[in-house]
Amino acid sequence: MLALAAAAMWGIIPIALKGMLTLLDPMTTTFFRLSLSAAILTPILVVTKQLPNRVKYLSPRLTLRLVATGLLVAGNYGFFCFGLEKTTPEAAEVMIQIAPMLLLLAGLWIFKEPFSKAQWCGFGGFVCGLLLFFNHHWVDLFVALNAYGLGMLLVAMSGLCWAGYAISQKFLLREFNPQETMLAFYWVGSLALLPLCDFSPLREFGLWQFALLLSCGVITLLAYSCFAESLVHIEASRASALIALSPLLTVAIMQGIPLWGLPAEPLGWLSLLGALMVVVGSITTAIAVKAS
């Protein structure tokens, strides 16, 4: 349920971010996602006394790992925003699904998680689904590498950062609870991006714009908290597969409800079939019988 909740929120966040990117540049948007999450989470954890391992923040070895992982989280957020700026929410959300798949594959070798033939079939369906979804953009992706292709490359880099974060997070959870790690990641990312931000557009913000900005931070906090907690209870491969449900929500909203004049991805039946195959392929990896 925690992983599914994270999937739902990750399905909504590209749409909110696309709206935010009409108001702020990607770097400043990413800074606010991280800093708002940090500002909300810090007092909650202090008041509820959910920092039992805070003394471990002073360990040089663990601090270095927390900082490195925090930079991966910032890279994940930042590359995604830069890619989203050049594409559409649906395309970005489908492409970012390579992130949980990379984590799934990492589970084979790093976490020694079992993998069955049925799960390999699911992975094959996932790859075919990606190719079908982007069938009308093959030239952009593989030949021209124009703005759309560059955007997809940036989103793929975001996925690579996310997979690195999730792998490191799995090890850090042996020393910290999930909220302690996310608190460190948010502060590290915020401090790293602060010198690169442009706050001048905030002078023109009204109530609606500030509400949208706040929602990006709140959704970010809830989604990553749910995912981090889910890794405590289930295998990394199962959690990553469930996360792949998020594109369905993004596609449904963008194709069915016109929002803020945001451009929707022109999807034909092959692209819709591809999106479905991405999700079905991912679910197969989660529910297929594990190899002994």
Tally: H helices and E strands in the chain:
13, 0
Which is more confidently placed, 229 or 198?
198
Check pLDDT > 50 for residue 292.
no
Instruction: Write down the pLDDT at residue 262.
Output: 75
Where does the pLDDT of residue 291 fall: very low under 50, low under 70, confident under 90, or very high at 90 and above? Answer: very low
Q: How many CA atoms lie within 13 A of 283 on its CB side?
A: 12
Half-sphere exposure of 26 (CA within 13 A, CB side): 17
Say what the pLDDT of residue 118 is. 81
* Rg of the chain on CA atoms, in Å: 19
* Whether 88 contacts 21, CB under 8 Å: no
| Gap between the Cα atoms of 219 and 236, Å rounded | 22
Any idea which residue has 């759309």 for tokens?
Answer: 148
pLDDT of residue 108: 75
Q: What is the mean pLDDT of the chain?
A: 86
- pLDDT, position 201: 93
User: What residues contact residue 44 under an 8 Å CB cut-off, 6+ apart?
Assistant: 50
Query: What percent of the chain lies above the pLDDT cut of 90?
Result: 33
- Whether 28 contacts 265, CB under 8 Å: no
Task: Decide if pLDDT at 104 tops 80.
Answer: no
Mean per-residue pLDDT, 221-229: 80
Mean pLDDT in residue range 204-228: 87
Within a 10 A sphere around the Cβ of 91, how many other Cβ atoms? 27
Per-residue pLDDT at 185: 93
| 135 confidence band (pLDDT: 50, 70, 90) | confident
Give domain limits for the chain: 2-287
What's the start-to-end Cα distance of the chain, in Å?
Answer: 26
pLDDT-wise least confident of 66-70, 201-205, 261-265: 261-265
Over range 96-109, report the average pLDDT. Answer: 79
pLDDT higher than threshold 80 for residue 12 = yes
Mean pLDDT of 76-92: 92
Whether the pLDDT of residue 63 is over 90: the answer is yes
Selected residue with higher pLDDT from 113 and 36: 36
Which DSSP state fits 194? G
